[in-house]
Each structure stands twice: as C-alpha cells, then as structure tokens.
Chain A
C-alpha cells in the first residue's frame, strides 16, 4: 500500500507566497518605524565610545551609597507592601463581579471586565505621575498608584481562577439552600484561596520593581536617587543603585517563589 503511494508522483509543495508576503510586510513596517523614530545605527556606532566610557565610569560602584539609600529602599518596600495590600482589598469584590460563574447578570460581568481592561491599559508610571500631582511628591502617591495598578493584575488573574473552579461543591450548597454569601465563603473561597494568595505575591514582586522607579516622577522611594545620581553624572552611584535594587528584587522574588511553591 505504502509502496504504491510512494511510487506515485511526489506531492507538490503548497505555494508559500502569502507567507513571504506577510514576512516582507512585517520587515517593511519595522523599517518604516525605524525611519520614523530616526533610529540611526551609524549614530549609535559613533556614540558607542560614549557608552563604553559610561560603563567604565560605572565601575567600581559607590558602595557607600548602599548605606545612604537604605531608608529610601525600605520606603520602596513599604510602598510596594501597602500598595499591594490596598490593591488586594479593592480587588476582592471586583474579582467576583468579573467571574462569569458567580453572577447570572451578564451585563454586570461584562461591564466590570471592560472597566478592568481599561484600568490595565494605564501604565503604572503614568498613574504615579497623576497621583503625584494630587497627593504631592511623597510615598503616598506611589502607594496610591501601586494600589490602583495592582487591582488590574490581581482581579484579572483571580477571576480567571474563580471561573476554573469545580462546581460540584457549589451545586450541593445550592441544593441545601445556601445564600449567596455562604455560597462564596464556603464553596468558592476555599477552592481559590491558594491561587489568589499566589497572585498577590506575584503582584508584590511586580510592585517592588515598579516602586523602584516611581521616584522618577516624584512618587517616593529609591527612584528619587536615580534622578539625583544621573543628574550629577555620578555613574558609580547609579551602578550602586542598580545593584542594590537587583539584590532586593532577587531576595524578595526568591522568598515569594518559595511561598508560592508551597501554596500550589
């Protein structure tokens, strides 16, 4: 049987014109975009000596800056912690409203999802710039920005977890006449709690990174020092800041990863 087929004519390769068209279209878009933003490799090459010089001036890092900036670094961690907490508190009602299997009113669910999607499109740094204008140049602005920013992540991930739960327990609770709140408290929460805690920790990791740069728009934390060090062309201090942030982020990521592994 196979023999017979093999003896027949070799199948012709399907034409791949559309693929090549797509690929060349992509290349043209990238090229036009590069022209539009005046991306000039020659200029980059000419200035690469500049970059080398910058890198050379970054080492050795100014180790004393680790001590100087520690209060600001602690502020950064505080901002992330409180911001994540506030975001979590606000996310709790939103995540239930967004889950399709919690409420029968679909217009409510879809409306909440749309609001959540819109919220998630606003970048954290822009939120921080707006809150800095409202609340002044203090960590409060950073906390508010991170709080709002966290809602987008926590509520989104959590409502997806809620939609994936097993409805067996829910059905049996409905059968014995549980109210909506009992239904959520004993049927839904126990199933999704480990996931939600894991998402909160994940958001906390993201918020630590975000909090480190919010100071650039005046929202407190270690970002203020980035501005200062770059303004004074003190690249050894910039390097110290980068390394310090790196160390803190790695430690917090590690702890959070261990807890998350334990949870799930």
Chain B
C-alpha cells in the first residue's frame, strides 16, 4: 500500500518535472522566434541561389593555376603555411603554459588554477577577433593571420596538454624523486616521455581546426584563400566561388585524413 503510494508520488514528481521542462523550452523558443526580424526573403534570393548552383556545377577551372597574379594553388599553399607556422608558434607557447596549469605538477592549488583561468580566457577569444587586432599591429596579410592562429590556439592546446599531464601515471615521477632527481629531471625523464604521444595527437587535432580557420581568416583580410573567396562572393563571381570552395574541401579533407591516420598510429 505504502509502496504504491510513494510510487504514484514519484510519478507525479516526474510528470511535474517534465511539464516544467516543457514550459521552459517552449518559452525559450517563443522568445527566440518572436525576436527575429523576418524582413521577408529578398527577391534576388532565388536567382542568386540558382547562379550559385550553376557556379558550383561549372567551376572556373582556369583559376586553378595562373602564371602571374593570384590563383587557387597559391592561395591554398598560403593557407597551409599560415596553419603550419601558427601551430608551431602555439606549441612552443602552449607547452610551458600547459605544464603550469597541470594540477599534479604544482604543489600549490592557486598556481595551477591561475593557469587554467588564463587558458579559458584565451579560449573565449575568437580567432577572427584576434586576427582583427593583429591586423592593426602588423598590417593586413598572412602574418597577421598566423599570429592570430598561433595565439588563439594556445587556450585549447594548453588545456589539452594540461589534461594529458593530469592523466599520466605518477609512478615514474615518484621513482625519480626517490632516487633524488630534481624538478627538471622529473620533468624531462618522468613527465615528458609519457605525455608526448598525447601532446602530438592534441596538436594534430588542433592543426585540423587551424586549417579551417586559416581558410576563413581571409574574409577579414588576414591572408589565405579566404581573401579571393570573399572578393568573388562580393563580385558575384560564382564560378570562382565554386572552384575555391572545391579547393578548400579537397585540401581540408586531405589534411583531416592524414592527421587522423597519424593520430591512430601514435595513440
């Protein structure tokens, strides 16, 4: 008797929770949809869509290689170069920060948490905003894009590195302490050899993201393939937009495949 009573009570509780959740979610959606201004679709929406599709079907093949002036290959190589130098810069900077933020390496809690906080602050800055700031410093171009990616990736890489260090086996470090190794020896022979595969895997993962970001940085003038793309979109040159997007898709696919192959091999 009592058991069934508490069961119905539980049922009511569950139902009440469900209704509450339903009300919260539906009011959220009402708020969201009510706030969007539907200015109505532009008259040009359909013709533009049609010309975009026709542009993708018949891409501008002549743009692939052009002896003088800019072309697709040069843009893609520049994009790759931005991603490569960017990741190199962020690895150099993120390794010390990651070690600093790892909880099990520092004896004081506030030290590692200050590292964590500064990493989360870096993570919230979008690459594009960083690029806008660096453009003001070194002028528009690939260099600004590289700096933005290099600094922007520190937040994520540092966090992944710190998690890798926190997940390691403390045994080797303890053994080195037991035979009288100093802090640097602990790091060099106890920590680093254990975490290198994880670090490489995280770096490759971030490199894939860098590749995509490098393709977009050009939209605001920070070099790479995005610059000709945004010009082509603005001048409604859809054949060229088509070939550039195809180029981006192919390069990103290749980079992703290579990187996931390497990551599988390492881990």
- B-contacting residues of A (Cβ < 8 Å)? 29-30, 32-34, 36-40, 43-44, 47-48, 50-51, 54, 74-75, 77-79, 81-82, 85, 117-118, 121-126, 129-130, 133-136, 138-140, 143, 209, 212-213, 216-217, 226, 230, 238, 242, 245-246, 249-250
Contact = CB atoms under 8 A, between A and B. Distances in A.
A117 B253 contact: yes
Contacts of B32: 77-78, 81-82
B142 to A, nearest CB: 4
A124 B70 CA distance: 24
Given A213-B126, A242-B125, A130 B233 contact: yes
Contact of B52 (A75, A81, A122, A134): A134
Contact of B138 (A47, A74, A230): A47
Contacts of A143: 36
Contacts of B84: 29-30, 33
B85 A126 contact: no
18 contacts: A33-B80, A39-B143, A47-B138, A51-B133, A78-B31, A78-B36, A117-B253, A123-B216, A126-B219, A126-B229, A130-B52, A133-B236, A135-B41, A139-B36, A217-B230, A230-B136, A238-B129, A242-B129
Contacts, number: 156
A252 to B, nearest CB: 11
A38 B249 CA distance: 25
B48 A133 contact: yes
Contacts of A37: 78, 81-82, 85, 141-143, 145-146, 223
B155 to A, nearest CB: 12
A126 B248 contact: yes
A122 B78 contact: no
A43 B139 CA distance: 10
A125 B219 CA distance: 8
B244 to A, nearest CB: 9
Contacts of B82: 33, 37
A54 B52 CA distance: 40
Contacts of A78: 31-33, 35-36
A33 B224 CA distance: 12
Contacts of A216: 128, 219-220
B211 to A, nearest CB: 9
Contacts of B212: 121, 123
Residue with the greatest number of chain B CB neighbours at <10 A, chosen from A32, A50, A133: A133
B258 interface: no
A121 B36 contact: no
Nearest to B229: A126
Contacts of B33: 78, 82
Contacts of A242: 125, 129
B42 A126 contact: no
Contact of B126 (A51, A79, A209, A230): A209
Contacts of A134: 45, 48-49, 52
B256 interface: yes
A154 to B, nearest CB: 17
B184 interface: no
A197 to B, nearest CB: 11
Residue with the greatest number of chain B CB neighbours at <10 A, chosen from A118, A129, A250: A129
B112 interface: no
Interface string B192-216: 0000000000000000000011011
A129 B233 contact: yes
Contacts of B245: 122, 126
Contacts of B219: 125-126, 129, 216-217
B136 A81 contact: no
B229 A54 contact: no
Nearest to B213: A123
B177 interface: no
A245 B128 CA distance: 13
B252 interface: yes
